[in-house]
Amino acid sequence: MKIGMITDSLGDLSFDEMLRASAELGLQTLEFACGNWSSAPHIDLQAMLANAATRKEFVAKIRDHGLTIAAFNCSGNPLHPGPQGKVHHSVTQDTIRLAGLMEIDRVVMMSGLPGGPGDANPNWIITDWPPECLKIQRYQWEERIIPYWRDLVAFSNNAGIHKLCLELHGHQAVYNVQTLFKLRDAVGETVGANYDPSHPLWMGADPIAAIRALGSTIYYVHAKDTRIEPITAAIDGTLDPRPPNLYAERAWNYITLGYGHGETWWRQFCTALKQVGYDDVLSIEHEDMMLTPMEGMRKSVALLRNVAINLS
């Protein structure tokens, strides 16, 4: 497996500084966020689309540091019922166009989430009661989600992109194995998973069991850990809207690899991936509020390198 990183993990560094740091860390490949929820600190999407020379220079600098491009990322909510949805849809399409131009075969994103009829904001339905919940969910899937994704899959295929890698994330229509298959069954095999274990962990799933269920639908993997804080979680459960800077108060936190689950667990995680045929990129996503980005990245790379050595 290749060890990579979504470059937002070192988003405070310039493009050139990030490349030097990535080479120093011993990374092999990079995932670039192109906009939407990311500020896209290392790529100018419109400039890249407009000019072949700009694209060529971008790739050359990456290669000069012994690195490759693993994927582009446009995570956002193109199904948002307000103006934001149109903006995110435009960035999503432009990211897919850029991937096609640069022969990058994967775009990482999220499914998006619409509102119910007349809603101004997205509405995440995760219970069947009160009775209106199922009516709202039926509207979302039949009237908004499936039609949008049929069109996006057609657009993506026309651009030469046949892998849209959906991160199973809270406050999204696709947030677990069941909802991924629901969308994939409706719109086809262009839709697969970007499997990031940090989200199912706080939602109570077992990522290793989920990998076995997902099998060949796993198109990409984010390496990010979550630590459940046992006392708070025991009192309040894990549905916790407190912001991440209040990490001492939260029921769970995103954490540097190894600080939520040890090396043995990560070895089991990677073994499960290989058993279902995934032997590709592990893209580290650093969102630990308790360590600096470089310190967290160094520790995460060291853990994955040990895991990879022991798997080889």
pLDDT digits (tens, 9 = 90+) for 133-192: 999 999 999 999 999 999 999 999 999 999 999 999 999 999 999 999 999 999 999 999
**Model confidence at 312: pLDDT above 70:** no
Determine how β-strand 107-109 pairs with β-strand 225-228.
unpaired
For residue 210, the model assigns a pLDDT of: 98
Residue pair 30/62 in contact (Cβ under 8 Å)? The answer is: yes
Tens of pLDDT along 73-128? 999 999 999 999 999 999 999 999 999 999 999 999 999 999 999 999 999 999 99
How many CA atoms are closer than 13 Å to the CA of 187, on its beta-carbon side? 29
Q: Using alpha carbons only, what angle is made at residue 122 by residues 116 and 127, rounded to the nearest 5 degrees?
A: 70
pLDDT category at 309 given cuts 50, 70, 90 is confident
pLDDT category at 308 given cuts 50, 70, 90 is confident
1/274 Cα distance (integer angstroms): 9
**Model confidence at 23: pLDDT above 70:** yes
179/168 Cα distance (integer angstroms): 9
Question: What is the mean predicted confidence (pLDDT) over 39-64?
Answer: 98
Share of the chain above pLDDT 90, in %: 98
Give this prediction's pTM. 0.97
Per-chain mean pLDDT for the chain: 97
Tens of pLDDT along 254-290? 999 999 999 999 999 999 999 999 999 999 999 999 9
For residue 311, the model assigns a pLDDT of: 76
